[in-house]
Each structure stands twice: as structure tokens, then as C-alpha cells.
Chains A and B, each alone.
Chain A
Amino acid sequence: MVRHKHQNLEHLIDFFAAISRFAEIIRDVIIRAPLIFKNPDLTIRQMRIIGIESIPLVIITSIFIGAEVVVQANFQFQGLVPMRYLGFVVSKSLISELAPVITAFVVSSRISTGIAAELGSMKNSEQLDAMTCLSLDSTRYIIVPKVIASIIMLPVLVIISEFFGYMASIIFVHFFIDVTMNTYLEGLRLFFSPNDMILGVLKTSVFGGIIAFCGAYFGLECAKGAEGIGDATTRAVMLSAILILIFDFVIAILFL
């Protein structure tokens, strides 16, 4: 019984140690953030990897999101809600929740795992130690560019996602749904609110930070061996998914 209590206590201590380590990484990154202007090429390279190379993924997902919202709304509305509200529902759900959150999820599955795996293997092959030996600050040269690139590129990806989502919904309505294009577009336009859109885009910067920090944290804490790296990537994507939802909720409460 005593031993059991003891173990719980140890878990609790580990938990707080992990949180403080996470906070430490965030602090270290914030302190070094201004230094990115000294090596802009590092950040630009990460923006390409994190942002540009995610575009195909984002486009495919957003096309299906756009079409799916139309199908669902159309189905639920049948005989209950006038079809001129179809555009309204699609627009609201796409800009305020679906595009930002699902894009963040999809990108996180690519980026937070990528960062965790890269840092984990750098740690295991002693590359991080080698940087320390050469008086190179690994946080500054490796982690900061990824975090900044992620924070900058996620909003861009979401804008792309929203654009393709809209396009897909319009095309889908045109071909498959029994609503005139005018009615639909009218609905889209009528209830379009720039504030929703701005909030939806900006909050993805927060998601971008979450994605990069989760990847960095689990990469740095990675245990030795291939299993360690596999573990790190899984945890990174799990934690970033949870944190994205939590922060989405918090932002909704704060700003709506």
C-alpha cells in the first residue's frame, strides 16, 4: 500500500518535471526567437518543408471537407431548414472550425512527427551533442526555425484550405445538390464575417506553435533506439492533437 502511494507520487513528480521541461523549451525558444534574422535561410528552409510541402496534403483534405459539409448540411436540412441557409452553414463551419482544426490535425500528423523524428535521431546519433561541442546552440539553429516556420505557415495553409474548401463546396453544390447556384452563393456571402475568418486563421498560429513544440519536446526526450523514435513520434502527434482541441476551446471561450 505504501509502495503504491509512493509510485503515484513518483508519477506525479514525473508529470510536473515533464511540464517544467516543456515550459523550459518554450522559454528557450522565445528568448532566441529574435536571432532568426541572423540566419534567415534556416527558417526559410523550414517554411518550405513545413509549409510548401504540406500544400498537396492540405488541398486534398480541404476538398473533401468542403464536399462533406455540403452533403451533411443538405441531408440534415431536408424539409426542416430552408436551403438558402446552406451557404451559411458551410461558410461558418468551414471558416471557424473545420478548416483550421482539421488542417492543423493533418499538418500535425506530418510536422510534429517529422520534428520529433528528426530531433530524436539527431539526439541518438549524438548530433545534438556535437553541436554543443562546437559551441553551436541547437535550440537556436534547429528548434527555433521550425517553431517560427510552423507559426507562420499554418495560417497560410489554412487560407489555402479554406479557398479549396469553398471551391469544392461550390462545385459539389452545382453538380449534385438541388439548390441553385445563386441561392447558395447568396447564403455564403450574406453571412460571411471577416472577423470569424481572421480569428479562424490567427488561431492556427497557436496550433502551429503547439505542433512544433510537441515535436521538439518529444524529440529531445526521445529514448535510444528505433523504438524510442517511434514512441516519440506517436506521443508528439497525440499530445499535439489534444492540445489543439484544448486551445481551440479556450480560444473560442475567450474570443466569441
Chain B
Amino acid sequence: MKDTILKLEHVKKNFGPKTVLHDVNIEIMRGEITCIIGQSGHGKSVILKNIMGLMKPDGGRIIYNGKVISSPITPDSEYDKVRQKFGLLFQGAALFDSMTVGDNIGFTLRERTNLTEDEIQARIRNGLSMVGLHNIEHQMPAELSGGMRSRVGLARAVAMEPDIMLYDEPTSALDPIMSDKINDLILGLRQKLNMTSIVITHDMSSAYKIADRICMLHNGKIIFQGTPAQIRASRNSYIQQFISGKRKLFYAMGADQEMDKQVNLSSIHKEAHKKTFGGVTELKVVPKKRTVGDI
């Protein structure tokens, strides 16, 4: 039986007058890989930053192993105790550009662990070869390509062997072959270290490959949470549009205004459906085994 390692309850986040996260509820199981998908600018990175303790939610709470680690009223010190359990790969890698690649990975190890210098060097080499990079310890981040940086960022985050790894679009700067390697790496980390992962991605083929569970964020709410098979089977037009990359259907439904009604699967009524499509039953949004008549 899998247990919950991390839980976001009603997490809310505003920036000034703008509410980015309205009500985010996510449950992460130990040892599982959860993908968060959603359109650009809808707050995926903000979710990760809240989990990572870089921001405090304006409402709701985040629970790690049964303890509240972040909420509007929890002191920062509460989070500091568990910070090392989390690792984050930033969207832009965020390498320290005044340090060499080796120091980027080794700095935390030197400062935060009791490893000897030899062990640290070995870890740096292992980490780099794990992400398919060799002999670049002495280069500066500015000399690397975007994809290489993001892989160094990954090596740096994993070096501390966190319980939960968060990846902010780990594959978006990579070619398909390298993306596949990174996906294998994420799977490998789970197998070897039973590492729990939360992966933000736009790339559905990666998501299908690695995810045990997919959450979809839309307008600051989680509108879907389930297995890859379940999301494929979803009859929500917006979700279908997102995962298959087709646009037409969504526009036919009257776009955003209709969205909220469509969000909840149970709220899709035959009537609404008829109204929207004006009796065009051919336009089926309906996957496998079920037909419109079943709704």
C-alpha cells in the first residue's frame, strides 16, 4: 500500500491583485512519479516554488509526511528542517555562473555534508556521467548549451539525494534523444533510490512514459488528477485538446467560458452537450468503450 508523502491542500497564491493559484489540491504518493501539465503561465512553476519553500502560500497548507511544513502561519524554521528532503531542477537550470560546473555540484556537498574531497570528486563525476556529460568539471556554465546546463542542474539537485525531486520542464530544452535519456533517468532514480518525483512538462509523450499519475492545472485549479490511462479516457474537451494538441474542438465549445462547466466530469449534461454542438453528434469527444448516449 502506498502512502502519501506530500499533500497540497487548498493552496492559494496571489501576486498583488492577481490570483495565480486559486485552489490547488494534489496528493503525491511515495515512490510515484507525478506529472503536472498545464498551459504556459498558469502557475505550474509557482506550485513547485511553493512546495520548495521559496514562496509561502497565501492560503491552504502543504503537508510532508503528515506534518504541515508550509502555510501562511507556519514559521520558516519549520520548513528549514525538511528543506534537504527536497531537490529542484529549475526551469532555466539556475547554475551559479561564478563557479565551475564541478563547484556547482560540489559546493553543497562541501558545505553541507562530511564527505571527503575524494568522495566529493567521485560524486561530481558520477553525477555528471549519469546525465551523460563527461570532463566538463572545469568549464564555466556560460560555456555550456541550454540542454547541458539543465543536465548539470539535474546532477546538482540529485547529488544531495533528496526524498522528493521536483523537475520544472526538464526536457523542454533537450532534443528527443536526450529527453528520452532524462526520462529514463527519472525512472531510474525511482527504481534505485525509491525517489518520489514531481515533473512539470508540456511533452505528453514524456508524461505518458514516466507518469504514474498526471495532474492538470488550469486557471489556478487542478482540474484533473489520475493515471495516464484515465486522462486519455477523459471526455473533457479541454483536456483532450491539451493532450492531443488539437485546437478545433475546444473552440467549437465556446472556449474559456464553457471551461468551468466542463471541468467537472459529472456536470457535463446531455443538454449542455446538445446546445453546444447543435445536434452534431458526429463530433464525439468520447474515447473507448463509451458513447455519447451513456452520459
Show the binding face of A for B, using Cβ within 8 Å.
118, 122, 125-127, 129-136, 141
A126–B88 Cα gap in the complex (Å)? 12
Residues of A within 8 A of B98 (CB): 118
Residues of A within 8 A of B108 (CB): 134-136
Which of B87, B88, B91 has the most chain A CB atoms inside 10 A of its CB? B88
Tell me if B223 counts as interface (CB < 8 A to partner A): no
Q: Is A127 a contact partner of B156 (Cβ separation < 8 A)?
A: no
A67–B157 Cα gap in the complex (Å)? 57
Partner of A125, one of B86, B92, B107, B156: B92
A203–B88 Cα gap in the complex (Å)? 44
Closest to A45 in B: B98
A127–B92 Cα gap in the complex (Å)? 10
Residues of B within 8 A of A126 (CB): 90-92, 94
Tell me if B118 counts as interface (CB < 8 A to partner A): no
Within 8 A of A (CB), among B89-111: 90-92, 94-98, 107-108, 111
Q: Is A129 a contact partner of B90 (Cβ separation < 8 A)?
A: yes
Q: Is B94 a contact partner of A135 (Cβ separation < 8 A)?
A: no
A141–B96 Cα gap in the complex (Å)? 12
Residues of A within 8 A of B52 (CB): 129, 133
Partner of A133, one of B86, B91, B111: B86
Closest to A126 in B: B94
Jot down 14 A-B pairs with beta carbons below 8 A, ordered by A: A126-B90, A127-B94, A127-B95, A129-B49, A129-B52, A132-B54, A133-B86, A134-B108, A134-B160, A135-B108, A135-B112, A136-B107, A136-B111, A141-B111
- 13 extra A-B contacts, CB within 8 A, seeds A118-B98, A130-B153: A125-B94, A126-B91, A129-B54, A130-B90, A130-B96, A133-B54, A133-B83, A133-B86, A134-B108, A134-B160, A135-B84, A135-B112, A136-B112
Q: Given A133-B88, A134-B156, A136-B111, do A127 and B96 touch, yes or no (CB 8 Å)?
A: yes
Show the binding face of B for A, using Cβ within 8 Å.
49, 52-54, 80, 83-84, 86-88, 90-92, 94-98, 107-108, 111-112, 153, 156-157, 160
Report A72 CB to chain B, min CB distance, Å.
43
A89–B111 Cα gap in the complex (Å)? 53
A126–B98 Cα gap in the complex (Å)? 14
Residues of B within 8 A of A131 (CB): 96
Which of B49, B83, B84, B94 has the most chain A CB atoms inside 10 A of its CB? B94
A190–B92 Cα gap in the complex (Å)? 63
Closest to B98 in A: A118
Partner of B94, one of A118, A130, A136, A141: A130
Residues of A within 8 A of B49 (CB): 129
Residues of A within 8 A of B87 (CB): 133
A176–B7 Cα gap in the complex (Å)? 81
Closest to A128 in B: B94
A84–B108 Cα gap in the complex (Å)? 63
Closest to A140 in B: B111
Partner of B97, one of A127, A134, A136, A141: A127
Those 10 A-B pairs whose CB atoms lie nearest each other, nearest first: A130-B94, A126-B94, A134-B108, A133-B88, A129-B54, A127-B94, A126-B90, A135-B83, A135-B84, A127-B96
Residues of A within 8 A of B153 (CB): 130
Residues of B within 8 A of A130 (CB): 88, 90, 94-96, 153
Report B20 CB to chain A, min CB distance, Å.
15
A20–B259 Cα gap in the complex (Å)? 45
Residues of B within 8 A of A136 (CB): 107-108, 111-112
Residues of B within 8 A of A127 (CB): 94-97
A118–B99 Cα gap in the complex (Å)? 13
A239–B111 Cα gap in the complex (Å)? 34
A34–B84 Cα gap in the complex (Å)? 24
Residues of A within 8 A of B157 (CB): 133-134
A126–B112 Cα gap in the complex (Å)? 20
A131–B112 Cα gap in the complex (Å)? 12
